[in-house]
Amino acid sequence: MPTEQTAARKGRRLRIARDSWVAVVIFLAPAVLVLALFVVYPIGFTFVRSFYGRLGDTFVGLDNFVRIFTQPRTLIALRNNAIWVLVVPVLVTSIGLVLSVLSERVRWTVAFRVFVFMPLVVSGLAAGVTFRFVYAHNPDVGAANAAIGTVIEVFEPPGDYAGARPSVPERVTEANGGFVSADKVSPGENALFGFVAIAPRQVPDHSTEAPLELTAAEDEIRGVVWLDFTPGGGGTRGAIDPGQQGLPDFRVALSKDGRTVARTTTEPTGVFVFDDLDPGEYSIVFEERNFREPFRGLAWLGPGLIMGALIASYVWINTGFALIIIGAGLAGINRDYLDSARVEGANEWQVLTRVTVPLLRQSLMVVLVTTTISVLKIFDLVIVIAPESVQAHATVLALEMWRASFGGARDFGLGSALAIILFLLIIPAMVLNIRRFRLED
């Protein structure tokens, strides 16, 4: 507040006497009454109520609080609230700080900030629905798993024959997720490798019937990789029966003394040929990448990842708040400090941590405190995003308070005690606010 105005107000105090109480009451009474009835009185009532049992007719002392600190479910809620408070305010503030500083350097500052602000007006419910779609388990459906799967498959593309097994296990040994022929093969010999456990849709369209006759020349090894399965039954395991399909594009390698000497892929008939070979004994290798499973998706909504999933969606909602407050703070600091630090040779990281952050101390505190209060009360996201079967792992105090009081048990004693714990946890922030306000005034 400009000092000029404060002085003016002090001057007014000397000249103008107290107002008539009638005018004061008319202006103040409606708000004061509502606040007293709906906020102040209930705090006292709930406090007293927390020492009484479920129905409110018996005094139980601290029993309700003892239950909160001994029952597994409320203990998980306490632990989860602790995780929220320890992780999220710092996370949101740091992201907000970095984005505020970065977004000042481009011409589209305002547009960028509008994008990030937008989720602030989105309800926890709508954000929750949105993220239920994002977190769907199947990578064909859920955006989060689709994105992760795309990145993974760039580096490790899935094999054409995921899950395939040799039809005669004795003919191969398993190695590095793939298979190696059990017997050595010499030039002039044939090698037959049947595979099973391949779904019809896994067999490529250009697959044709596997050849019944096979002749290898003197200097070549000739083999077939085929689907050793006759629809409707019949046929001999390990031998090519009429009508069985070749497996095209199978990656086959030839190794000698443990070193790979040649690679090829099978034809539509499943035939592969290694020619121009020196005499000797070779092994046929079917590498792991033929059988590599595609990315099946992470269980974001499962017990293991649900907290991370909830925190990510909270960050999505609330980074905009940090950006508004820190952005406003940033606009108010004197750029000469930053520029002179740069002239003195500080790099951008040093400017940020040693100059910008101290100058923004107040804005950063506002974001930290406000976010702490907000995550202590977190409720909507948890109840909407976490499926009921997982809520026991994701639960928080506010959710337990609602469940105990209105979610079936109707235990107003336990509910009141949970509400009081929330209230007590928020008191430090309350004191901080009052102090800050006294200083400002």
Site membership for another protein, residue 255 (CB under 8 A): no
- Residues in contact with another protein, total (CB under 8 A)? 111
Of the candidate residues 65, 112, 295, 337, the single one contacting another protein (CB under 8 A): 112
Out of 14, 61, 72, 121, the only residue in the binding site for another protein (CB under 8 A) is 121
Residue 357 near another protein by CB under 8 A: no
Task: Tell me: does residue 366 bind another protein (CB under 8 A).
Answer: yes
C-beta closer to another protein: residue 25 or 175: 25
Judged by CB under 8 A, does residue 379 bind another protein? yes
Distances (CA, A) of 47 to 61, 188, 262, 425: 12, 90, 79, 14
Q: Give the x-and-dash track for 179-218 against another protein (CB under 8 A).
A: ----------------------------------------
Closest separation between CB of residue 148 and another protein, Å?
13
Among 226, 250, 272, 412, binds another protein (CB under 8 A): 412
51 binds another protein (CB under 8 A): no
Looking at residue 398, its amino acid is: A
CA distance 353 to 97: 11
How far apart CA 383 and CA 428 sit, in angstroms, is: 27
Residue appearing with tokens 């005018």: 23
Q: What is the footprint of another protein within residues 68-87 (CB under 8 A)?
A: none
Q: Which of 195, 266, 380, 390 binds another protein (CB under 8 A)?
A: 380
How far is it, in rounded angstroms, from Cα 80 to Cα 393? 8
**Residue of the chain from 89, 187, 297, 415 that contacts another protein (CB under 8 A):** 415
Cβ at position 292, least distance to another protein in Å: 22
* Per CB under 8 A, 325 contacts another protein: yes
Residue among 107 and 259 whose Cβ is closer to another protein: 107
Q: Decide: is 114 part of the binding site for another protein (CB under 8 A).
A: yes
Q: How far is the CB of 159 from another protein (least distance, A)?
A: 23
- Comparing C-alpha atoms, which of 63, 42, 57, 40 is closest to residue 414? 63
Amino acid of residue 250: F
Of the residues 124, 178, 223, 270, which one makes contact with another protein according to CB under 8 A: 124
Residue 146: how many other CB atoms lie within 10 Å: 17
Stretch that binds another protein, among 136-144, 202-210, 224-232, 270-278 (CB under 8 A): 136-144
Question: Any contact of residue 146 with another protein (CB under 8 A)?
Answer: yes
403 binds another protein (CB under 8 A): no
Q: How far is the CB of 152 from another protein (least distance, A)?
A: 16
- Judged by beta carbon, residue 246 or residue 413, the one nearer another protein is 413
Interface segment toward another protein; rule CB under 8 A; list 38-46, 171-179, 192-200, 220-228 = 38-46
Q: Which residues on neighbouring strands pair with residue 366, listed in sequence order?
A: none
Per-residue buried b or exposed e for 337-371, using 16+ beta carbons within 10 Å of the residue's own CB: ebeebeeeebeeeebbeebbeebbeebbebbbbbb
Interface with another protein, residue 40, by CB under 8 A: yes
**Span from 61-69, 226-234, 249-257, 340-348 in contact with another protein (CB under 8 A):** 340-348
Is residue 123 within the footprint of another protein (CB under 8 A)? Answer: yes
Residues 6+ apart with CB under 8 A from 231: none
For residue 421, report the phi and psi dihedrals to the nearest 5 degrees. -60, -45
By CB under 8 A, residue 125 contacts another protein: yes
Residue 154 lies near another protein (rule: CB under 8 A): no
What mask of x and - would describe binding to another protein in positions 303 to 322, judged by CB under 8 A?
-------------x--x-x-
